[in-house]
Amino acid sequence: MAFLKNTTLLALTVGCLALVNHGLAFSITGKADDDACKDCTDGVTQLNKFLMSEAAIAGESQLIKEVICPDLDDPKGCEKGVDAWWGKMATAVFGDDNTATEICSASEIGACKARLPVYQGKWGCDECKRLVGLVGEVIASDDGTKTTVDFLKGDAFCKSSASPNATVCAQYVDALMPAALPVFGESIGLASEAMCQTVYAQCQ
């Protein structure tokens, strides 16, 4: 099945977005910790650069065309849209200055927002897999999907010079992203052990 075959690729190219290497600086007091927030946003910013790389965008594009497009109403149109727009869409999302802070402030992560702590144990394989699973929840959540869709349909992409037709662009975003993001999130959970091995040197 294409979905399972590409799970690790998707997790590595998209899922690592919201975890920091040795990301254990979450507040244990229930308050946002300045160091934890900076560690998180620094790590996300670094990973964002990878997600905008030519190789990462090529892998993301291939996976969307193989896994997402066949289930949409117009698979061929979806594939053409990926070829034309995905690189620019990824750059708009991952290159935005606010992306890292928004991810690190999400309720599932909470490094930049006062909340109950998410870090529950000693850093190792089990804790890594649990935190990777939380990343999947952030990406697949209704709030995460709405935020991403609204962002792309606005001035950052569809209403900017990056898109030749704002109306068509918005229709494409509405069709693609609500279908893609839950798959991204699910695949991250399925590939959590592989991610921890490859990205964080855990679960060896």
pLDDT given at position 69: 92
Q: Is the pLDDT of residue 120 over 80?
A: no
Q: Is 30 exposed, middle or buried (0-12, 13-18, 19+ CB in 10 A)?
A: exposed
Alpha carbon 162 to its chain's center: 21
Residues in the chain: 204
Return the pLDDT at 33: 54
The backbone torsions φ and ψ at residue 20, rounded to the nearest 5 degrees and listed phi first, read -105, 140
pTM value is 0.68
